[in-house]
A and B are shown apart, each in its own frame.
Chain A
Amino acid sequence: MLRWIMNSHQVSEFEGVALVHLDLLYRAALRLTHNRAEAEDLVQETWLRALRHFDRFDPGSNCRAWLLTILRNAFLNRLRREGREILKSDMVADGSGAARFDEASLTHSSPEESFFQTVLHGDVDRALKTLPLPFRIVVMLADLEGLTYKEVAEVLGCPIGTVMSRLSRARQLLRRELVALAREHGYSKESR
Chain B
Amino acid sequence: MNCREFDARLHAFVDGELDAGGMADALAHVSACPDCHERADGERRLRQLLLRQPRETAPPEFRARMLALARRERMRKKVRAWAGAPALAAAALLLVFVLIARSLSTGGHEPELVQSLVDKHLAFAQLEGPAEFSSTERAAVAAWFRQRAGLRVTVPDLSSAGIQLVGARIADADQRKVAYLLYEKGRVLMSVFMVPEVGGRTPLAGRPMSFRGQEYLAQESHGLRTVSWRDGQALFSLVSTLDYSALLECAEQLRAERAREARL
Q: Give me the interface of A with B, judged by CB distance under 8 Å.
A: 1-4, 7-8, 10-12, 14-15, 18-19, 22-23, 25-27, 30, 37-38, 40-45, 47-48, 51-52, 77-78, 81-82, 98, 101, 105-106, 109-110, 112-113, 116, 119, 124-125, 139, 142-144, 146, 148-149, 164, 167-168, 171, 174-175, 178
| C-alpha gap A23/B58 in the complex (Å) | 5
Closest residue of chain B to A80, judged by CB?
B175
Query: Contact between B63 and A164 (Cβ–Cβ < 8 Å)?
Result: no
B7 at the interface (CB under 8 A from A): yes
Closest residue of chain B to A113, judged by CB?
B42
Query: Contact between B51 and A146 (Cβ–Cβ < 8 Å)?
Result: yes
Closest residue of chain B to A40, judged by CB?
B62
B57 at the interface (CB under 8 A from A): yes
Secondary structure type dominating chain A contacts: helix
Shortest Cβ-Cβ A-B pairs, 7 listed: A26-B58, A11-B74, A143-B50, A37-B132, A4-B81, A23-B57, A101-B7
Across-interface contacts of A25 in B (CB, < 8 A): 58
Q: Would you give 14 A-B contacts (Cβ < 8 Å), ordered by A?
A: A3-B85, A4-B85, A19-B63, A27-B55, A43-B58, A101-B7, A109-B38, A124-B50, A142-B15, A149-B12, A149-B15, A171-B11, A171-B43, A171-B46
| C-alpha gap A45/B82 in the complex (Å) | 26
Query: Contact between B169 and A51 (Cβ–Cβ < 8 Å)?
Result: no
B89 at the interface (CB under 8 A from A): yes
- Give chain A nearest CB distance to B88 CB in angstroms: 8
B140 at the interface (CB under 8 A from A): no
Across-interface contacts of B176 in A (CB, < 8 A): 81
Would you list which residues of chain B between 40 and 78 have a CB under 8 Å from chain A? 41-43, 45-47, 49-51, 53, 55-58, 62-63, 65-67, 69-71, 73-74, 77-78
| C-alpha gap A19/B116 in the complex (Å) | 21
- Give chain B nearest CB distance to A54 CB in angstroms: 9
Closest residue of chain B to A140, judged by CB?
B50
* Size of interface on B: residues with Cβ below 8 Å to A: 57
Query: Contact between B11 and A15 (Cβ–Cβ < 8 Å)?
Result: no
Decide: A44 near B10, CB < 8 A? Known: A7-B77, A116-B49: no
| C-alpha gap A105/B17 in the complex (Å) | 21
| C-alpha gap A148/B8 in the complex (Å) | 18
Q: Beyond A25-B58, A52-B73, A148-B17: 9 further Cβ-contacts under 8 Å?
A: A4-B85, A7-B78, A40-B62, A41-B172, A48-B69, A78-B172, A139-B50, A143-B50, A149-B17
Decide: A4 near B82, CB < 8 A? Known: A23-B58, A142-B15: yes
Decide: A143 near B58, CB < 8 A? Known: A41-B172, A43-B66, A106-B7: no
- Give chain A nearest CB distance to B110 CB in angstroms: 13
Decide: A124 near B172, CB < 8 A? Known: A4-B78, A37-B132, A106-B7: no
Would you list which residues of chain B between 128 and 180 have a CB under 8 Å from chain A? 132, 169-172, 175-177
Closest residue of chain B to A169, judged by CB?
B11
Query: Contact between B119 and A3 (Cβ–Cβ < 8 Å)?
Result: no
Closest residue of chain A to B77, judged by CB?
A7
A37, A44, A48: the one contacting B73 at CB < 8 Å is A48
B186 at the interface (CB under 8 A from A): no
Across-interface contacts of A26 in B (CB, < 8 A): 56-58, 62
Query: Contact between A41 and B171 (Cβ–Cβ < 8 Å)?
Result: yes
Query: Contact between B69 and A44 (Cβ–Cβ < 8 Å)?
Result: yes
Across-interface contacts of A110 in B (CB, < 8 A): 38, 42
- Give chain A nearest CB distance to B75 CB in angstroms: 9
Would you list which residues of chain B between 16 and 49 have a CB under 8 Å from chain A? 17, 35, 38-39, 41-43, 45-47, 49
Across-interface contacts of B45 in A (CB, < 8 A): 113, 116
Across-interface contacts of A12 in B (CB, < 8 A): 74
Across-interface contacts of A139 in B (CB, < 8 A): 50
Across-interface contacts of B11 in A (CB, < 8 A): 164, 167-168, 171
- Give chain A nearest CB distance to B163 CB in angstroms: 23
